[in-house]
Amino acid sequence: MLEGSMKQPVVESLHHSLVTVYQVSSYLDFPFTLNEVADFFLPGADISGDELRQRILSGDFDDIPFRIENNCLLTRPGQNPNTRLVREATSLQKLTSAGKFASVLVRLVPWVLTIAVTGSVAYGSAGKRDDIDLFIITKQHRLWLSIFFALVLVRVFQGLRLEPRHLLPFCMSYVHDEHGFRNETQRSANPLFARELLKAVPLVGKSHYRKVLEENGWVQTMHASSYIAKLESLPNSDRESVRKKGIPIVLDWADAFAFFLLSRYLRLRAYLTNLKLKSHGQQMRVFDPLISRNSCVYTSNFYRWLRQLWHNGSN
């Protein structure tokens, strides 16, 4: 617990994180709750939402022009808690649509270990135009076959109009096989990545998702209470997935061929999408496709901005 005699470096770190929260909330025009901020946006600070409220009201952070209303931290003029209600309703609709998609995909593709939703839908801040960002982990050397079937299924959902159009913009923005994800976690031990892992909403493969969290215990050092609460909400991951020996090598070749074709297709599509985003002045949504044999990750300018904001605060 943070006492009144907090050490100066801790105070400065907390102050910087709150400044960052203010910037992000203002940009998104989305008010975060006090509990959200305390649990997910103040890495390393053992502080509750009520304690955060007391510190703000007591004038500890008077230079940050927050307003508190209905347990929400408001920033820009005209922002109000009702914004959350509208966005949360839209996010829930998109999450339900993603659940239907994931349940079909996992039946068709036996190599998928986990499918979760991340980004604005997971945070409950999605607007109608926002993509549904999917976080997928597959078995090793089955990533690109899985992506192929996922892309086909997206087209089927869209062609059959199984949901309204704004509930079908699925984006495979963060897809790895086991090896690729292991490498990613070794490179990305930072507050933003920790928060993304904790805020992800697993749709299928929940026990494997729990295993992912257990294997990345460093997340607990940044968001202790949220980490523990997330583990408690997930099924036990004691059982290891059974791996078949002697997997036909033809599937390895098929996955390599799918990588050869799809990596070129996705890079071209990313280039054309970015041209469209730039022409509409949506520079923060422009992204780089980081594509390899084991991973397919889209990193947007907005995500880079968030990463830089929290990185500066940890220096």
pLDDT tens digits, residue range 194-221? 999 999 999 999 999 999 999 999 999 9
User: Token pair for residue 206?
Assistant: 């929940």
Residue 235 CA to chain centroid, in angstroms?
20
pTM of this prediction exceeds 0.75: yes
Tens digit of each residue's pLDDT (9 = 90 or more) over 79-110: 888 889 999 999 999 999 999 999 999 999 99
With tokens 């209905």, the residue in question is 70
Residues 193 and 218: beta-carbon distance below 8 Å? no
34-55 pLDDT, tens per residue? 999 999 998 878 889 999 999 9
Q: Calculate mean pLDDT across residues 55-66.
A: 89
Cα atoms in the 13 Å half-sphere on the side-chain side of 40: 19
Local structure of residue 217 (DSSP, 8 states): T
The confidence band for 289, taking pLDDT boundaries of 50, 70 and 90, is very high
**Cα-based distances in Å from 24 to 39, 125, 164, 312:** 16, 12, 29, 14
